[in-house]
Amino acid sequence: MRKTQVSLLGTILGAGFWGLSGTAAQALFQIYQFPVVALVTIRTLASGLILLIIIRPARPGRPFGQLLGLSIFGFAGSQLAYLWAIQFSNAATATLLQFLFLPIVAGYEAVKGVLRWSVRWTVSLLLAMVGTLFLVGGLPGPNFRILVTPAGVLFGLLAAVSGAYYTLASRPLVRAHGSWWVTTWGFMIGAMATLPFGVESVFSYQFPSTLQALTAVAELVVFVIVFGTILAYGLYLAGLRRLSATEIGLASSSEPIVASGAAYLFLGVILTGVQYLGGAMIILAVILLASRKVGEVPNL
């Protein structure tokens, strides 16, 4: 159980880093008009090269199709969909729609018999989903923070589907080769898929003319690479060794708590009572997850 709780903690940290990177990405898109494809290519290629030097993983063997599909549709696809959802709406909308991957994963594992359903799981899922809605969007009304656009909704739903695929397809590879092996080659192969489009986006981008703005862009990109890519993905995947995909999804619901806390600390954004309630519901869902009985997930 202690190793399971360590895995759970790592997943929570990884999800928190992903949430912070979403806020950084929104600043890149809306303040500096940085192109999405360029950011995905830079973050995946740089992260892959860094890990390739540090980890020095064994070369992928055959069959190669599973890793190829995960790299293109999971690693690159989930990032593109999520960041496009931010660009066409905002980080709150993208986060909320992305979390629809949780019922997708839970339903799949329940059908496959990986997850032994119980009242605890039902309550945990409801708390996580409703808590995310309250924390990210608030209550429907004049101050509702969800920006609904057709493109934003489309890419948000694609982010949910690709996120579910990424979580489910990663698990057998992580158990066979380790999380950092999967993370390294997932980044490298995913970057190769987006490289031609990313290079074109970088060359067509008009970089800021002032040193201060250029430095800010560089700092945001580096933050996204280190915390929002290497650590976020590596810690998230590491949890799949001892946790089910549904448990990983529930643990990642801590992402909006970290993002909201950062907005409060660094940007002075005041949280409402509804947002505090949403955060409390998410924390309760994670506590229920951490206290679950081993037998509730029998086929790990």
Which residue has tokens 């040193």? 211
| Token duo for residue 233 | 């993905």
- The mean pLDDT of 266-288, rounded to a whole number, is 76
Angstrom distance (rounded) from CA 290 to CA 1: 9
Q: In angstroms, rounded to a whole number, what is the distance separating the alpha carbons of residues 153 and 150?
A: 5
pLDDT grade, residue 267 (50/70/90)? low
pLDDT at 203 over 80: yes
Lowest mean pLDDT among 26-30, 53-57, 200-204, 230-234: 26-30
pLDDT at 295: 43
Mean pLDDT over 165-190 rounds to 92
pLDDT over threshold 70, residue 263: no
pTM of the model: 0.81
Q: What whole-number distance in Å separates Cα of residue 19 and Cα of residue 6?
A: 20
Q: Report residue 300's pLDDT band, with 50, 70 and 90 as the boundaries.
A: very low
The pLDDT mean for the chain works out to 83
Give me the number of domains the chain comprises. 1
The 8-class DSSP code of residue 272 comes to: P
Q: Which of 144, 142, 168 is nearest to 275 (CA)?
A: 144
Say if CB 76 and CB 44 are below 8 A apart: yes
Q: Tens digit of pLDDT for each residue in 30-77? A: 889 999 999 999 999 999 999 999 999 999 987 688 999 999 999 999
Between 22 and 33, name the one with better pLDDT.
33
Report pLDDT digits (tens) over 78-134: 989 988 988 888 777 787 788 888 888 888 888 887 777 777 778 888 888 888 878
Enter the tokens of residue 202.
């970088």
Burial class (CB in 10 A: 0-12, 13-18, 19+), 215: exposed
The rounded distance, in Å, linking the Cα atoms of 268 and 239 is 33
- 97 vs 86, 92, 158, 276, CA distance in Å? 11, 9, 9, 20
The pLDDT of 253-279, averaged and rounded, is 72
CB within 8 Å of 213: residues ≥ 6 apart: 32
Please report, as a single letter, which amino acid is at residue 69. G
The whole-angstrom separation of Cα 118 and Cα 231 is 32
Evaluated on CA atoms 135, 44, 184, 101, the torsion sign reads: positive
Distances (CA, A) of 123 to 51, 85, 128, 132, 137: 38, 29, 9, 14, 21
The domain in which residue 90 lies consists of 2-296
Tokens coding 10: 């790592």
